[in-house]
A and B are shown apart, each in its own frame.
Chain A
């Protein structure tokens, strides 16, 4: 039982790692085209595939191993320069990466492994991958100069002894393709096809395999590389590799281990140039002279005495593995659940500290208050560090879109580039996870509807390649993510017409550009003349808006005809703990997120109007007492809290300012889901509940007041 759990955990780690590796692989694939020297990226791609294959082998995930092996083989050839990593191959590799991802998903769901060789999608990919293994083999073989150049560069003579099992052909593998592949790693000096095991036609099983090959192979690669050639078929064949400079005993062992009998094989070895006739003779004599029991012992002992290059290669590989480990071990993997628990505890700690502070103030014990203040500072730091743990850079999310843009651009037949900035901007992991889908919609939309056709671009004097940009930055306690395109911009008239047609707008009503553009976030609203399979069905933008709103964020759109469109998404940095500014109305306490508070001024207003004059500017305000129906009458000295959101200001009229306090956001129960203007609740040090104000929503209400105010002031 304990073992099972352990295995599950290890398997889980494998799945997480495999996904990360696939991400790395994808990122490297996408940047490879832009690099002057793509060597490092190609290595990274190869390493990712290699590691996935290796670790899935440990778990016996044959489907992953089988498929990834072919991917790796192709990549290996790319690395050797035998295959060019062109756009088509990048696309194929991306598709293969996706397929591996799906195999890993299946592992996670505990589904039985489909065999990629028979499963249609896997088989199709495999066939396309095999093309890269096969069709370049011929040119490599036909280039003897390249092979001989390699021969002078430290190539040595290896001997390979291959016997294929009866099921190789039936399993859809052709020994020929392995030999062709082998030929790309060096030069096949001699190859002898062993006819002896093949019976006559009458006894032959035409679909069984009884072929064997003895190969004299000149190469500079190491033993592992040679073995890798046959890894795909290794369960179905016997492969013996005799390294260069081996002792004669190893050839004797080889001769003895095969059923063909000593003499023919010995002669074949001579023919392959692996041993000389003289060596063979003395070897056979030695074999005959020595007693078998003693013989095997000595031979095995001497087999431990492998050729130096084999040992060297193994050491080098080990060292390389250790170095990559070193670079990786700088971060610790922690369960998201554990982090959430920590954040929750920090939240409780904040509430408890607030309670202690309150008591300290009440007892007027100066020393206690001082200690408490130190404690509060520390708790605040703990809060920040704890939240920091959950902060991730948005770059990871952005880089996923490189792939999307790459694929969608191909699909649309448009030439589109993705420009990314502000990748280092951090935000809470939970927000990152939820923002992916809305962003995906926005990016696809920008590509499909935003970017204009090549002809139009030329007519408008814009570069032929369209650009979709992703940008992120911090702005007063929010993270702002912008998705822009340099396309045709939104068609104000068309949107307005459609809005009127749909009954969303009364005809003849004057609307600001922003209001018109905001119509596209209405459900079922699409102006695309042509519906593509990407977007234009009118589902999407309203979903985007809803998703963003559920993260306590909002979305705005700006557009310039002929120049492009920018969608701005504004999200809170974190969903857990904020710096709050507490205000009181009657006996109720409300919390305004501190980052949104601009200033506090004494209340003054034209009687009967809901706006005031803030240094010559119209400042609309909302009376919280009226809004929330708080009993009692206003105090004599009311205050206005000026809050700023998305570049606009409005005021909240309150009875008293209580000051800054850390606020742990507790979600409201579903019973209160319909309450407008409240985004959550928090527990005060005294144990009372305070409501957190939903500033963006209140602002919409205030804006209505502002337009009235503007009219009145004129």
Chain B
């Protein structure tokens, strides 16, 4: 698949403390993705994740779905994997 993609790498916390800031960043990156393209989230640099982070990912997923784009979660740090496992979320964001 050689669709055009935009990648957003998130470093550090993916938590309530940065939720507002990260939501803006995601909206900005998403706007650059052409319809049919892929929005790639690189979560390999995430040190900590909470439910606000989960919610952000779900929202991003909804936005891409509704606008005919694709959401790909590229890298996953151990913190992200742990949360995905706890909430059995892997199916929402593709298998590892």
Instruction: Please determine whether chains A and B interact with each other in the same assembly.
Output: yes
Interface of A toward B, CB cutoff 8 Å: 138, 141, 164, 168-170, 174-176, 179-180, 183, 190-193, 195, 198-202, 204, 206-207, 209-211, 213
- The contact of A211 among B51, B61, B62, B82, by CB within 8 Å, is B51
Q: Please give, as numbers and ranges, the residues of chain B lying within 8 Å of A193 by CB-CB distance.
A: 54, 58, 87-89, 92
**Are the CB atoms of B63 and A200 closer together than 8 Å?**
yes
* Interface presence of B50 (CB below 8 A): yes
Can you list 19 A-B pairs, Cβ within 8 angstroms, ordered by A? A164-B51, A169-B50, A174-B16, A174-B51, A176-B50, A183-B86, A190-B88, A191-B86, A193-B54, A198-B62, A200-B59, A201-B23, A202-B27, A204-B56, A206-B20, A207-B16, A209-B55, A211-B51, A213-B87
- B63 CB contacts on chain A under 8 angstroms: 200-202
- B46 close to chain A: CB less than 8 A: no
Q: Complex Cα distance A62/B20, Å? A: 30
A38 to B62, alpha carbons, bound, how many Å? 52
Q: Name the one of B27, B89, B92 contacting A201, with C-beta atoms under 8 angstroms.
A: B27
Q: Which of B3-30 contact A (CB under 8 A)?
A: 16, 19-20, 22-23, 26-27, 30
Residues of B with C-beta under 8 A to A210: 55
Task: Contacts A175-B51, A209-B55 known; list 7 others, CB within 8 Å.
Answer: A174-B16, A174-B52, A179-B87, A191-B86, A199-B59, A200-B66, A209-B52
Q: Are A201 and B51 in contact (CB under 8 A)?
A: no
Q: Is the CB of A211 within 8 A of B56?
A: no
Known: A138-B82, A198-B62. A211 touches B27 (CB 8 A): no
**Per-residue 0/1 for B48-89: is the Cβ within 8 Å of any A Cβ (1 yes, 0 no)?**
001110111011111100100000000000000011001111
Q: Give the contacting residue for B86; candidates A180, A200, A202; CB below 8 A.
A: A180
CA distance A204 to B66 in the complex (A): 14
Q: Contact between B51 and A204 (Cβ–Cβ < 8 Å)?
A: no
Distance between A232 CB and nearest chain B CB, rounded to angstroms: 15
Knowing A206-B52, A209-B51 touch, does A195 contact B87 (C-beta < 8 A)? no
Q: With A and B bound together, what is the CA distance between A486 and B58 in angstroms?
A: 67
**Complex contact A174–B59 (CB within 8 A):** no
Residues of A within 8 A of B82 (CB): 138
How far does the Cβ of A109 sit from chain B's closest Cβ, in whole Å? Answer: 35
Given the complex of chains A and B, what is the CA–CA distance between A342 and B78 in angstroms? 71
Q: Total number of A-B contacts with CB less than 8 angstroms?
A: 85
Docked CA distance A204–B87 (Å): 21
A176 & B88 in contact (Cβ 8 Å cutoff): no
A538 to B63, CA, bound (A): 72
List the 5 closest A-B pairs by CB distance, nearest first: A206-B19, A200-B63, A206-B23, A198-B58, A204-B59
* Interfacial chain B residues near A175, Cβ < 8 Å: 51
Whether the pair B22, A206 counts as a contact (CB closer than 8 A) is yes
Across the interface, do A176 and B51 meet the contact criterion of CB distance under 8 Å? yes
**Min C-beta distance of A176 to chain B, whole Å:** 5
The smallest beta-carbon distance between A666 and chain B, in angstroms, is 68
Would A141 and B51 count as touching, CB distance under 8 A?
A: no
Contact B30 A201 (CB under 8 A): yes
| Contact in complex: B23, A141 (CB < 8 Å) | no
Residues of chain A within 8 A of B52, CB atoms compared: 169, 174, 206-207, 209
Q: Across the interface, which residues of A come within 8 angstroms of B19, CB to CB?
A: 169, 206-207
- Interchain nearest-CB distance for A177 vs B (Å): 8
A392 CA to B56 CA in the complex, in Å? 62
Known contacts A176-B86, A193-B88, A204-B23; decide if A169 and B16 are in contact (CB<8 Å): yes
Q: Is the CB of B87 within 8 A of A201?
A: no
Distance of A107 Cα from B55 Cα, bound (Å): 39
Q: Which residue of B lies closest to A174 (CB)?
A: B50
Please, which residue of chain A has its CB at the minimum distance from the CB of B20?
A206
A176: chain B residues at CB < 8 Å are: 50-51, 54, 83, 86-87
A53–B59 Cα gap in the complex (Å)?
38
Contact A207 B20 (CB under 8 A): yes
**Residues in B neighbouring A213, C-beta threshold 8 A:** 87
Chain A residues with Cβ below 8 Å from B26 are 201
Contacts of A138 in B (CB 8 A): 82
A171 to chain B, nearest CB (A): 10
In the assembled complex, which residues on chain B have CB atoms less than 8 Å from the CB atom of A164? 51
